[in-house]
Amino acid sequence: MSTEALQWSKSSYSGSEGGACLEVAVTPHTIHVRDSKTAPDHHAPTLHITPATWTDFLAYAVK
């Protein structure tokens, strides 16, 4: 799946002015993560991780 076809979401902590935000797109088998500063350039690097890894990261991050 191309990154253009994904539905990207920003954190609820992100402000409306943009800037340094993390965006996430969820699919059944992969979590896609990118830096919003590069979002207009759909050729920007994207991190691809498994749902299990994402769940582990979230459990760690909210401690």
Digit-coded pLDDT (tens) for 21-43: 788 999 999 999 988 776 666 66
Give the range of the structural domain holding residue 42, as residue numbers without chain letter: 3-61
Is 47 exposed, middle or buried (CB count within 10 Å of its CB: 0-12, 13-18, 19+)? exposed
DSSP state of 45: -
Split into its structural domains, the chain has a count of 1
Whole-angstrom distance, CA of residue 63 vs CA of residue 48:
23
pLDDT of amino acid 49: 96
pTM of the model: 0.73
CB atoms within 10 A of CB 31: 19
Average pLDDT value for residue range 43-62: 90
